[in-house]
Amino acid sequence: EDQVTQSPEALRLQEGESSSLNCSYTVSGLRGLFWYRQDPGKGPEFLFTLYSAGEEKEKERLKATLTKKESFLHITAPKPEDSATYLCAVHGSGGSNYKLTFGKGTLLTVNP
């Protein structure tokens, strides 16, 4: 069974204070690791897909990296508008029909 553990559960940063969120996973045959952002009362917004160890993707202040056991979401010089819950999910070869297994998320708060 695929498993995803995200840490920390919550993170408070000052504006401009860079940090990283962690996503550790156990999966039989990774077909994709996904990062989403979710604002309160809204559906998740797609950020990145990573497929293989060593892969990196960037978007504005966010950079996602992947190893064989974990992924990091690096946030550089965050702004208050980056405050949200960040979700990590995996799709493994053992899962049917492109099923994603989600972690519980990291609630990021960026104070001005």
Partner 1 sequence: GAVVSQHPSRVICKSGTSVKIECRSLDFQATTMFWYRQFPKQSLMLMATSNEGSKATYEQGVEKDKFLINHASLTLSTLTVTSAHPEDSSFYICSARSGSGGTYNEQFFGPGTRLTVL
Q: Which is nearer to partner 1, 53 or 77 (CB)?
A: 53
For residues 14 and 97, which CB has a smaller minimum distance to partner 1 in the complex? 97
Cβ at position 54, least distance to partner 1 in Å = 18
- In the complex with partner 1, the residue whose CB is nearer, 69 or 104, is 104
Most distant CA pair in the chain, distance: 44
Q: What is the smallest separation between the CB atom of 18 and partner 1, expressed in angstroms?
A: 25
Cα–Cα dist 44/89, whole Å: 11
Site of interaction with partner 1 (CB under 8 A) = 31-32, 34, 36, 41-46, 49, 87, 91, 96-100, 102-105
Q: How far apart are CA 59 and CA 84, in angstroms?
A: 16
CB closer to partner 1, 25 vs 36: 36
Residue corresponding to tokens 């919550």: 10
Provide, for the chain, the percentages of residues in helix, strand and coil under a 3-state DSSP scheme, each rounded to the nearest 5: 5, 60, 40
By the 8 A CB rule, do 90 and 72 touch? Answer: no
CB of 80 to partner 1, least distance (A): 21
| Least distance CB 84 / partner 1 (angstroms) | 14
